[in-house]
Structure 1
């Protein structure tokens, strides 16, 4: 049996895109984002599936040519390999989970 992992907010490692890496298991990882309004990020694909939940703020997601606006209480899912990008419309706080885990330190192995 695995010992439960607890990641206190004050010790969560920060990734190079500003995300806080939270609890990470063998099959799933969680991260927290805080972001200010910005224009569209570059289109990209990932070698993992991502689900997210907006805690506060608003963002747009362009997922494989379809655009949606999300706000507090909304959630999204990006399939593995799907072209996507984000635009932050209002100060954002969101959490994402990835499967398999996208972990700090193996970004090159999981992103393209």
Structure 2
């Protein structure tokens, strides 16, 4: 049996894109995002599936050419390999989980089509 992880906000590591890495297991990892308003970034694809929940703020998710506006309490799924991009309409705080864990093997590094 694995030893449970407890990660305090103060102990969370910060990634190159500003994400705070939270608990990470063998099959899933969790991270926290806090970002000010911004325009759409470049469309990109990831080698992992992402589910997220918006804690506060407003964002637009362009997923494979279709755009949805999300507010606090809304959640989303970005399938592995799906082209997507975000626009932060109003500063956001969001929690995301990735499977397999995005933190390993530099999976949070930019991939093709991402600046």
Shorter chain as normaliser: what TM range? over 0.9
Two-structure CA RMSD over aligned residues (Å):
1.6
How far off is 1:108 after superposition?
A: 6.4
| Post-superposition offset of 1:110 | 8.6
Q: Distance in 1 between matches of 2:34 and 2:109?
A: 24
Inter-CA distance 39–60: structure 2 relative to 1 (3 Å threshold): same
**CA offset at residue 68 of structure 1?**
0.1
- Answer yes or no: is the 8 Å Cα contact 2:31–2:95 preserved in 1: yes
Deviations 1:47-77 (A, max 9, x none): 0000000000000000000000000000000
TM-score for both structures, normalised by structure 2: 0.92
Deviation at 1:109? Answer: 7.4
How far did residue 105 of structure 1 move? 6.1
Alpha-carbon separation, structure 1, partners of 2:109 and 2:37: 29
Dislocated runs of 4+, deviation >2 Å: 107-112
Task: Give runs of aligned pairs for residues 34-49 of structure 1, distance below 5 A.
Answer: 34-49=34-49
Alignment-derived partner of residue 90 in structure 1: 90
Q: CA deviation at 1:107?
A: 3.0
Task: State how far apart, in whole Å, the 1-side matches of 2:89 and 2:109 are.
Answer: 30
**How many Å apart are 1:14 and its aligned residue?**
0.3
* Count of residues in correspondence between the two structures: 112
Distance 1:99-1:40 versus aligned 2 partners, 3 A rule: same
Unpaired runs of at least 5, structure 1 = none
| Contact 1:15 1:104 (C-alpha < 8 Å) held by counterparts | no
Shift in CA distance, 21/105, structure 1 to aligned 2, threshold 3 Å: farther
